[in-house]
Chain A
Amino acid sequence: MTAATLPRVPGNRDPRVSRGRRVAGSPALRLIVKRVLMAIPIIIGVTILASWVLSLIPGNAAQQLLGPQATPEDIALLEEQLGLNESGVSRYLDWLGGAVTGDLGQSVVSGQEVSDLLAERLPVSGELVGLAFVVSLLVALPVALFAAHRPNGVFDRISMVISTVGLSVANYVLALILVLIFAVQLGWLPAIGYTPLSEGLWANLEGMILPSAAIGIPLFCFYTRFLRGDLVDQMQQEEYVTTARAKGVGSWQVLLRHAFRNSSFGLITVVGLNLGALIGGTVIVESIFALPGIGQMLLQAINTRDFIVVQAVVVVFAVVAVVANLIVDLLYVLLDPRIRYGSR
């Protein structure tokens, strides 16, 4: 019997396929490659869109910087100094040419290297978003499970009221209320400012609790409501739940081992879609808490029509969104082996 006719043993690897081919043929890797290739036109498209939207906003960097008292001569002089006389298309293509070689350019307004600005500010926003995201998710999971365990019970009703209130309040209002309670009235936490991690873990965390809560609380409420609703649907309508119960499986076990596993797909999708909006939420929160992050930088760049900085931040946002969605898809593969991306 030749190797070519060896029978395949289910569950065993084909000994004729090299490790390299196995890796190359894995659905996860194919997915990653496909998504990375797809990300390129997405990111370019997003930057074109951002460039176009920015061009629709009245005024350019020179007008914004000089203010309402500037004469046309002053504006023309600054436009020349800032290199704003070129067309928008030409400036975009120049920027794109640099960006593909890793040069994100210099701020039109300050002349600073954009990559330096990102390196300075990304860690702040990253920590803010990371904390908000992780804590909101970690708290939302048990709350949703407890609420779904006894739908319309006391715990469910309380969590519903809290979630509804949390979802109804805009994060900038929530930010001010949190400061009023925890910084002004109780004096437990600082109202503004950022302390780098290098100056101590607690000093750093202390300053990030309220800002991340301002972003994370609405998120927690949303995750809780979403997951609770899906869990209750699964528990009340799905046949596999009825079957499991008929077999005498306990309600917590059904909830955790069966319903939660199925509901987690929806949650993962929502979390992935949420990440982009989460970064958007930093814009106002960073401004209120005086955090030197990427959101604050974006706001300033839009106000001064700093095209180069806006583009760089948009690229960051787009990359985060693409990566988040890639991770979501990979998690699908991990959680459900039936899913085979690109196998046909």
Chain B
Amino acid sequence: MRRLSKLAPLLAAAMVLAACGSDDDGGGTSEGGGGASAGEPQAGGEMTVLEDTAFTGSWPAGLDPATNTTGGANLPMMQSIYGGLFLLRSDDDGSNAAVEGNQAESGELSEDGTVFTVKLREGIEFSDGTPMDAEAVKLNWERALASPCTCKPTWPLAPDGIAVVDPTTLTLTFTQPYAAVSASFPTSNVNWIASPTALEKQGPDDFKINPVGAGPFKVVSNQLSSELVLEKNETYFEEGQPYLDKLTFQSIGGDQAAYQALQAGQAQAYEGLNTTPLLEQAQDNDQLQVSIQAATSPYVIQLNTKTGPFTDPKAREAIYAATDFEAINEGIFGGRYEVSQGFTAPGGLFYEQEVDGYPEFDPDHAKELVDELGGLTVKLGTISNYVATQINTALQTQWEEAGIDVEIEDYQLSTLIQQFTGGQWQAMLQTAGAWDPASGVGVGFRFGSRSPFSGVSDPELDQLLADAASSIDEDERGDLYQQAAELIASKFYAPFGLAFAPANISVKGVHGPGLTTVIPAALVNSQVIWDEVWMEQ
């Protein structure tokens, strides 16, 4: 598979017949599908959606929210089966994104930021006919929080902090103010509520294969990491939805195979296209529509300030001066994405493209610094995927022009983790941030002193990030994040780069939020709202 994943992009590139430029910006673009302009939704139809085996299309531990350890990647399946208490919605172009109640009617944070009250909609039932009430939600939250999945929220929850107020109301009590609580729902396992009755009846082992939720679709069959067949849930709380009668998620081995299957009419959509030549080809294809999602996590070159050459600020400054992400964006990605100077991106909250005091690209200055250092040798790593390895190759060229000796390496996931936990790594190309920088693993994951995946140990930065996560004043949060970005730049901790986001492609005649319109990625990928997806009949 490793061999395949390395060669597939080359093959894809070779098969591109014509490439076209694009004026898309990093805020996400949608071509051809449309939302409001597409007309009235039509009910009916069956749809097959392809998901890459390497990410979304892999659900080896099943689809129980509490035991699915890849839940963060399996958003399409989880949303289809469970719906979600809250969803991230936006205008068709990805702007004005906000977390809105779905199965929850509302979620309100107290003025001091320590109590979050969730009000459920009245009368929602699971597809097995049992009520989705506050007790069911409490049980699910307790199971979800006990999960080892990185898709569980990082709430500062007080002991016994989950309380049922009445059959449709619950509260979460925190030990400290936590402003990112509502933003933490859309991509975490607490958002997906499973039927306690079905869970007890089937037992956890069977339930993960045949899960029961209150979402828009019911499970017909589930072959793990291979094929999930769903049918319309006739008792779904939104009247008239879902529009589709049947929805099938099919796992497939990579962008090229998925693209050809779409062309052949074997499927109607593919989520998460990364390969740039195929993206350009899809944009030229009259039968397909492309929706580049709004990026929220820019690439960052993490520098390990704890050991090796980057303990010296001059070496870090040399990397900043030698790095030109604008050129990489233009040269490799046709200027398709925004280049960010901080950990925010166009699709996310608190986005500021520029950061005061951010060191400019200055190759002459980089050479001077390298000379002063008596030379600089760097090992630059990244995860093994198309975009990241392309960027690393370009960075190697740029840095070598500044006199830096560079060895690049791309790692499979497990080796990458070992590199970080071993602590001897020097530079790593990763992504940082989220729609709300405090939600999920957040920006602290890459820059917090206690994170094993951070190359920085700076109490001042820790405090800024903690204050930003706890403040309930949005303006203040924005200011604090900007200060954090300025601190990162002033200490030369990590140059930021282009804000990449994958694209969704679908055949003409398909419409739906997040599929043919833009929704910001709450973490890695954006969440298509499958109940509202429809096909022209």
Chain A interface residues toward B at CB < 8 A: 57-59, 62-72, 74-75, 77-78, 81, 107, 109-112, 120, 170, 172-173, 175-176, 179-180, 183-184, 187, 190-193, 283-284, 287-290, 292, 296, 299-300, 302-306
Contacts and interface: CB of A to CB of B under 8 A. Distances in A.
B261 A110 contact: no
A109 B60 contact: yes
A68 B416 CA distance: 7
A275 B256 CA distance: 28
Contacts of B256: 176
Contacts of B260: 176, 179-180, 183-184, 191
B110 interface: no
B415 A58 contact: yes
A306 B266 contact: no
A112 B150 CA distance: 23
Nearest to A189: B264
A68 B250 contact: no
A70 B420 CA distance: 11
Contacts of A170: 7
A290 B250 contact: yes
Interface string B414-433: 11111011000000000000
A168 B4 CA distance: 16
Interface residues of B, number: 55
A172 to B, nearest CB: 6
Nearest to A173: B11
Contacts of B72: 67
Contacts of A109: 60-61
Nearest to A175: B257
| Residue picked from B69, B224, B265, most chain A C-beta under 10 Å | B69
Nearest to B411: A58
18 contacts: A58-B412, A64-B414, A65-B61, A67-B413, A68-B420, A69-B453, A77-B148, A78-B69, A78-B148, A187-B264, A192-B257, A193-B266, A287-B1, A287-B257, A290-B250, A292-B223, A300-B58, A300-B224
Contact of A176 (B11, B61, B149, B441): B11
A109 B59 CA distance: 10
Contacts, number: 159
A110 B150 contact: no
Given A74-B150, A193-B266, A296-B226, A63 B417 contact: yes
B70 A67 contact: yes
Interface string B472-487: 0000000000000000
A191 B1 contact: no
A284 B253 contact: yes
B224 A110 contact: yes
Contacts of B62: 110-111
A78 to B, nearest CB: 4
Nearest to B253: A287
Given A287-B1, A287-B53, A292-B227, A69 B264 contact: no
B205 interface: yes
A112 B224 contact: yes
B445 interface: yes
A296 B149 CA distance: 24
B265 A81 contact: no
Contacts of A193: 250, 266
Given A57-B414, A69-B150, A110-B62, 18 more contacts: A67-B70, A67-B72, A67-B413, A68-B413, A110-B61, A110-B209, A112-B205, A120-B223, A192-B250, A192-B252, A284-B1, A284-B253, A287-B4, A290-B50, A296-B226, A299-B53, A300-B225, A303-B58
B251 interface: yes
A49 B72 CA distance: 34
A302 B73 CA distance: 19
